[in-house]
Structure formats: C-alpha cells, structure tokens
Amino acid sequence: MLLERYRKAIDDLFKKVDETQTENINKAGKLIADSVANGGCVFLSSICHSTEMDLIYRGGGPIFYKHFSYNLKVESEQRKRDNKPDLSGENERFALKMADMRPGDVLVVGSVSGRSLNIVNLAFEAVKMGINVIAFTSMEYATQVDAVHPSGKKLYEIATITLDNCAPAAEAMLDVDGIEAKFGAASGIASDYILWSITSVAVEALLEKGITPGILKSANFPGGNDYNKSVIHPNYDKYGW
C-alpha cells in the first residue's frame, strides 16, 4: 500500500536527519539562544515551503521568532520591461535594512535546491551585513545543480550554519506504478522537524542562561489569549524574549 510505503519513507527520513544533522541542530539552537540573550532578533523567512509558519504565533511556539517576508512589486505598462531576474541583490539589501536587521541577529532561510536566486541573494546580503544565516537545503539536490547567483555559490556555501533536510534530489521520494513523476515531497516535513528540534535546543540553552523564554499558549483555549496578552507580549516588548 502506498500509505505504508509513505510512512516508511518518512520514518527513514527522520532517522537520517537524526543520524546526520544533530550536531548542526545543536549549533543552530545555541546560536539562536546566544543572539536572543544578547538582545538580537530571530527572523524566519521562507523555509522550504512555508515551514516557518508552523512556529510563529501559535500555542507551544516561542515569542522570539518573527516572520520576515518582502515583496517589491511595480505595476506599469508605459514601456515594455524585460523579466530578467535581478542579480544585484539591491532588493534584498533594501528589505534587510527596512526590517532593521542588525549584526548578531539571526535569519533563517531555506531553498531545497540551494540555488533559488532570491533566497541566495538574501543570504548573501545578510552575511555581508554581519547577520547570522541558518540555512535549510537538500545537500543531495544542491550538489547536483548549478548555481545561478553571480558569486557562483549556492545557499549552503554562504550560510553560517547549514541544515540538510535530507530530501532526495528533485524532492519526491516514491515511485508509483502508472505515474511518471515520483510522489511525496520530503523537504517540508523534514525541515519542520529540524526547526522544532533547533527550537528545543534554543529554549533549553536560554533556560541554562537564566532566561525564561516566552512560550505562547493557544489563543483559542480558555485563558490562553489573556495569558499571551498579559504575560508573554509585555515580556517580549521589555526583554526581547
């Protein structure tokens, strides 16, 4: 049955993550804790198909994670414009500055292939500004494709710390009779697992520093919203955690 094959593939995926990524998971969690403890901010951008939204403003999630996205859209039909990708990094520099990212902050990003131009641009410009970049990618995928960034680098070659989500090249896991394409994407669920693992390390490291990070309660459970408004948000505004 396809269901059983899928479950087996996910079990194997998590096992591979555990066996190969634990060291960098610990490094990333401690980097986040150090940044938060020193007044830094942690920004979650696009992480392999919106994994970041699983941790932001939800019950059990830390208040110190904040979502970061940007979009520069120009609408004009006066003259024909080419649709060539922007290789300058100017948009990303502007977005980082407008978000008030500072040296010592942490930016978490992801590209399964490791070559998505806007993500690589973002990481490249962030590192130049002294921002710590934690990157999610598939090393199997990234090492089989060419870079498109002018530097000739892919995401894992730029980031401060790289997490391999262990997804196969081209993303999908299972061959299915009668279907040409493989079935079952790996990167999203693996990246989610890794990011929560990193967060557990960060929370524990903050506690060891004598800092109690704000963990949100579910706003839809009785008392949760009041707790978040009266305790968690004021503490974050005052201390940054």
- Are the C-beta atoms of 114 and 151 separated by less than 8 Å? no
Sequence ranges of the domains in the chain: 2-70+86-239
Please check the confidence at residue 180 and state whether its pLDDT lies above 70: yes
- Are the C-beta atoms of 158 and 127 separated by less than 8 Å? yes
Please check the confidence at residue 75 and state whether its pLDDT lies above 80: no
pTM attached to this predicted model: 0.93
Query: For 171, left (φ over 0), alpha (ψ -120 to 50), or beta?
Result: left
For 85-133, how does the pLDDT look when each residue is reduced to its tens digit (9 = 90+)? Answer: 676 788 899 999 999 999 999 999 999 999 999 999 999 999 999 999 9
Half-sphere exposure of 214 (CA within 13 A, CB side): 26
pLDDT of residue 94: 93
Strands 172-174 and 183-185: antiparallel
**Can you identify the CATH homologous superfamily of domain 2-70+86-239?**
Glucose-6-phosphate isomerase like protein; domain 1 (3.40.50.10490)
pLDDT of residue 64: 96
Average pLDDT, the chain: 93
pLDDT-based confidence at residue 50 (cuts at 50, 70, 90): low
Sign of the dihedral through C-alpha 45, 123, 114, 39: negative
Position with higher pLDDT, 238 vs 29: 29
